[in-house]
């Protein structure tokens, strides 16, 4: 039976709201909204949501609530991820959701990875391949691998994300090369714990790869031009150094780079590069899908 679902992804850096018609494993997008909220601001340091971050979250949830009511959906499912897992005052975020009739579930890293994988492959034509999915978030990065012909996936969530590593390492403007080297070394040590994999195809979801695809093409968001866009290892390396060499004030002016993401894009690109090295691949395909699509397809699990 076809159902209209609102799937809300409350990430460390970005909140997303997908309105979709779901029937079995078929999904039709009605509306898909993204807002940079920076919920995880200084969470790595304080282990608490800042009042200013909660205020931004409240404003965005209010906006999402209005959109959800307009669509008269059958079910609302919202998930909170890395930042919400790390804080002592996560109940305050859940209360903000209740105010808008948006029930929020704080999900574990492995469940996040599983749902991100399902969302990432939901538009793929050929699934009879070994698939490696990279989900670079603000607080964590999920790596997921499924061998050809197998149903089981190997999924792991690592506490390295674009916001977290920017706050930990990148203190100078423009980016200091020694700080960048330290960030890359740290990310590599963490992510290579995933172990060996030999994917036929590598897919990256979330704001970092989407943004890099837009920068590479010098465009604003256009799903038709971003979905499936190939990013090579060489292009990602060049972007890390070119973006890092720019003062923050200039970085914010780049076509395709949302100003609110400009401070964390270098760390995000570094994490994407390191994840690609884990997969031993020279190219990754960008997907505009991800966690919220997996949540929508599995909404019954949350009811």
pLDDT tens digits along 34-67: 999 999 999 999 999 999 999 999 999 999 999 9
Sole residue written with tokens 């992804």: 9
pLDDT attached to residue 123: 78
For residue 130, is pLDDT > 90? yes
Q: Kindly report, residue by residue over 162-190, the tens digit of the pLDDT.
A: 999 999 999 999 999 999 999 999 999 99
Tokens representing 146?
A: 């499924």
Tokens representing 189?
A: 């040590």
pLDDT attached to residue 11: 95
Summarize the confidence of residues 12-35 as an average pLDDT.
Answer: 96
| Residue 81: C-alpha distances to residues 113, 119, 156, 158 (Å) | 10, 16, 14, 12
Asked if residues 113 and 41 have their Cβ atoms less than 8 Å apart, the reply is no
For residue 138, is pLDDT > 90? yes
Q: Is residue 85 very low, low, confident or very high in pLDDT (cuts 50, 70, 90)? A: very high
3-state DSSP assignment of residue 106? strand
For β-strands 201-205 and 131-136, DSSP reports them as: parallel
For residue 293, is pLDDT > 80? yes
For residue 136, is pLDDT > 90? yes
In order of their start, the domains of the chain are: 3-109 (3.30.420.40), 125-286 (3.30.420.150)
Query: Helix-strand-coil percent breakdown of the chain, rounded to 5?
Result: 45, 20, 30
For residue 125, is pLDDT > 80? no
Q: Kindly report, residue by residue over 89-115, the tens digit of the pLDDT.
A: 999 999 999 999 999 999 999 999 999
For residue 149, is pLDDT > 90? no
Average pLDDT over all residues of the chain = 96
Asked if residues 84 and 97 have their Cβ atoms less than 8 Å apart, the reply is no
If one counts every other C-beta atom within 10 angstroms of the C-beta of residue 193, the result is: 10
Summarize the confidence of residues 212-227 as an average pLDDT.
Answer: 96
Summarize the confidence of residues 211-234 as an average pLDDT.
Answer: 96
Contacts of 283 (CB under 8 A, 6+ apart): 202, 230, 231, 232, 233, 276
Contacts of 125 (CB under 8 A, 6+ apart): none
């Amino acid at each position: 039976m076809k159902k209209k679902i609102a799937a809300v992804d409350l990430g460390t850096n970005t909140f997303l709201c997908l309105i979709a018609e779901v029937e079995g494993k078929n999904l039709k997008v009605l509306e898909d909204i993204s807002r940079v909220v920076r919920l995880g601001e200084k969470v790595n340091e304080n282990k608490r949501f800042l009042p200013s971050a909660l205020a931004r979250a409240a404003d965005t949830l209010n906006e999402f609530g209005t959109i959800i009511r307009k669509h008269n959906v059958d079910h609302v499912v919202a998930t909170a991820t890395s930042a919400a897992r790390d804080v002592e005052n996560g109940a305050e975020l859940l209360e903000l959701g209740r105010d808008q009739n948006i029930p929020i579930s704080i999900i574990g890293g492995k469940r996040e990875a599983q749902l991100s994988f399902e969302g990432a492959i939901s538009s793929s034509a050929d699934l009879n391949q070994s698939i490696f999915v990279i989900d670079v978030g603000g607080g964590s990065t999920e790596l997921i691998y499924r061998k050809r012909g197998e149903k089981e996936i190997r999924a792991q969530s690592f506490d390295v994300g674009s916001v977290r590593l920017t706050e930990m390492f990148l203190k100078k403007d423009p980016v200091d090369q020694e700080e960048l080297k330290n960030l890359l070394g740290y990310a590599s040590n963490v992510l290579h714990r995933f172990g060996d994999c030999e994917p036929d195809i590598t897919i990256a979801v979330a704001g970092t790869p989407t943004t890099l695809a837009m920068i590479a093409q010098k465009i604003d968001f256009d799903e038709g031009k971003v979905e499936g866009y190939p990013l090579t290892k060489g292009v990602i390396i060049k972007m890390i150094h070119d973006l890092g060499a720019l003062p923050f004030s200039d970085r914010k002016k780049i076509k395709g780079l949302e100003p609110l993401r400009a401070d964390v894009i270098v760390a995000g690109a570094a994490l994407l590069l390191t994840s690609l090295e884990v997969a031993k691949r020279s190219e990754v395909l960008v997907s505009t899908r991800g966690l919220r699509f997996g949540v929508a397809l599995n909404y019954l699990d949350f009811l």
